[in-house]
Structure 1
Amino acid sequence: MRRKLDDAWSIDLTGAWQRERPVAGLTTWRTPGRSMRVGGVVWRCASAADIIASIDLELPADPVGKVGEGGSGGVGARAAWLYRDTGDAHYTLYGYNFTDGEGLETVFVSADTADTAWAFAAWRSVTHEGSQHAGR
């Protein structure tokens, strides 16, 4: 089901997700065994490659994998880092979607290390309305 994250961003989430009240600019969505944290980010005068490089420096070391892709659905580029066994969560996917000058950070957490497909599918389903990339 397509869900609005804010005025411009939306995502497909399968199942009975519940949205919690935003705290410090971040909104958390939950369903049994899974959660997603969402926050907007703004970049000025930086290329997607520069943005991805700066994010890479801020994330924890030693990800299991990194993914970079061209975007779709109004999104210019996408990047993600996957971590396993991070405390009480068995895996965490940090996903980023970019348009010109703004972006969306989504952090997907699950207790099931065998099923990362849902998080990658949700991250890839993020769309942005109104950017110059729409329709590409």
Structure 2
Amino acid sequence: MRIAEVIRRKGADVVTVAPDTGVAELVALLDEHKIGALVVSPDGGTTVVGIVSERDVVRHLHTDGAGVLERTVAEIMTDEVQTCAPEDELESLARRMTDLRVRHLPVLVDGHLHAIVSIGDVVKNRLDELQDERDQLVTYVQQ
């Protein structure tokens, strides 16, 4: 299965945040949208300059204490963003996410943000595939 199929099933909506947004506002956005990461984009979602996750907040909370809430997203984001493309295979993406220990990958088309895929999306689709295979085997055995 390709990433395009995952996006077709879940949708291509991506919540973005500007680099100059405060971390306190970032935390509110993560909570509001019930998500674990936001793509950092200075132009509202066309270009990707970083990704910022709950992990980034927690790591800086450990080193900076509550003062992290006074900082900007640009100060705590990950700027070396791992990305993928719609034509990438789900299986290879799962391996890559595991090896790199990342939970969110922006999906780019022609260098522009198209969607985002999380490890949860990958796991859900794999479980759906396994259930489909199981159902087919049960049907075959019962015939």
Alignment TM-score > 0.5, same fold: no
**Larger radius of gyration between Structure 1 and Structure 2:** 2
Question: What's the TM-score, normalizing by structure 1?
Answer: 0.26
Higher helix share: 2
Question: What's the TM-score, normalizing by structure 2?
Answer: 0.25
